[in-house]
């Protein structure tokens, strides 16, 4: 396929590299910042532009990989007569955001992508949607070239996946940070809990989370729970989070 990449950030970089690796042609990179378009285009031996009127008119795929908030403006500026399939890769954006085109769809990776860190795309299940069955199947075939785990899902399902990714990534990470701060205040290194963090994540790779739930709430050890709450009596935020998550564990026993 001849592919135009719209965007030059983390997702744009990873997807462009993956498409190229699978034998597709990255014919152009668009970014509203020319230097960014140039940088990615140079790495991929492709062309660059910061001018939407200069966009290649006859590519097979226009892959939108800009921030969620920038999608509506970019879409409104694209020629509605584009024949190629227009795709975004946002988890929280409805497929309808692209409904001014004839052919459109979504390829969403539930993974946190950083330009400077390679990820194994074969491990990322790509979530695919198309405005027609034909387009959905076309995008699913393309996605499966990148990851055999890819699957079709609709926009509400993709929202559930995106929200789940936020829960297990962003919310887990802020819990890690709160533990980091608690340890630091007690002159202790974060290294003390790095092994249990990894162990916890590894355990759910082949178990349903609640079947491996441990700790005072799971055991109904009210005495330890009270000791913990007393220990953080000067941290009302952490106390509230402690109580809510403890309730959730207790509720499922």
Which positions from 51 through 70 interact with a copy of itself, judged by CB under 8 A? Answer: 67-69
Answer yes or no whether residue 190 interacts with a copy of itself by CB under 8 A: yes
Q: Using CB under 8 A, which residues numbered 204 to 233 contact a copy of itself?
A: 204-205, 208-210, 212-219, 221, 223-224, 227-228, 231-232
Q: Is 42 in the site for a copy of itself (CB under 8 A)?
A: no
Nearer to a copy of itself among residue 47 and residue 229 (C-beta): 229
Candidates 32, 197, 234, 236; binder of a copy of itself (CB under 8 A) is: 197
Q: Which is nearer to a copy of itself, 47 or 190 (CB)?
A: 190
**What is the pattern of x (binds a copy of itself, CB under 8 A) and - over residues 63-102?**
----xxx----------------------x----------
- Helical residues (DSSP H) of the chain, grouped into ranges: 10-21, 34-44, 71-77, 133-146, 155-165, 172-185, 194-203, 216-219, 222-231, 236-251
Task: Round to whole Å and give the CA distance between 112 and 219.
Answer: 34
Quick one: three-class SS letters along 172-200?
Answer: HHHHHHHHHHHHHHCCCCHHHCHHHHHHH
Of 80, 73, 69, whose CA–CA distance to 103 is shortest? 80
Size of the site for a copy of itself (CB under 8 A): 88
Rank residues 52 and 160 by Cβ distance to a copy of itself and give the closer one.
160
3-state DSSP assignment of residue 22: coil
Length of the chain as a residue count: 253
**Minimum distance from CB of 101 to a copy of itself (Å)?**
22
Pairing mode, strands 85-88 and 104-108: parallel
Tokens of 82: 């584009």
Least separation in angstroms between CB 181 and a copy of itself: 9
How far is it, in rounded angstroms, from Cα 130 to Cα 86? 10
Contacting residue, 33, 99, 157, 253, with a copy of itself by CB under 8 A = 157
CB of 29 to a copy of itself, least distance (A): 22
Residue 53, SS3 per DSSP: helix
Three-state DSSP class for 64? strand
Residues in 109-128 at the binding interface with a copy of itself, rule: CB under 8 A: 110-112, 119, 123-125, 127
Span 168-187, contacts to a copy of itself by CB under 8 A: 168-180, 182-183, 185-187
């Amino acid at each position: 396929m001849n592919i135009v990449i719209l965007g030059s950030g983390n997702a744009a970089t990873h997807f462009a590299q993956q498409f190229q690796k699978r034998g597709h042609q990255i014919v152009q990179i668009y970014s509203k910042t020319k230097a960014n378009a140039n940088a990615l285009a140079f790495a991929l031996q492709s062309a660059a532009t910061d001018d939407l009127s200069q966009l290649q008119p006859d590519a097979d795929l226009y892959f939108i990989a800009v921030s969620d908030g920038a999608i509506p403006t970019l879409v409104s500026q694209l020629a509605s007569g584009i024949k190629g399939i227009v795709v975004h890769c946002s988890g929280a954006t409805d497929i309808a955001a692209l409904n001014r085109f004839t052919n459109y769809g979504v390829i969403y990776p539930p993974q946190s992508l950083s330009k400077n860190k390679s990820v194994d795309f074969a491990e990322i299940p790509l979530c695919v949607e198309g405005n027609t069955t034909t387009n959905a199947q076309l995008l699913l075939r393309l996605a499966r070239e990148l990851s055999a785990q890819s699957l079709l899902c609709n926009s509400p399902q993709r929202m559930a996946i995106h929200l789940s990714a936020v829960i297990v990534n962003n919310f887990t990470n802020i819990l890690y940070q709160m533990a980091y701060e608690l340890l630091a205040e007690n002159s202790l290194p974060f290294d003390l809990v790095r092994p249990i963090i990894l162990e916890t994540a590894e355990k759910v790779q082949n178990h349903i989370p609640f079947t491996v739930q441990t700790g005072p709430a799971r055991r109904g050890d009210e005495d330890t729970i009270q000791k913990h709450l007393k220990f953080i009596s000067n941290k009302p935020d952490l106390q509230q989070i402690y109580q809510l998550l403890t309730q959730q564990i207790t509720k499922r026993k």
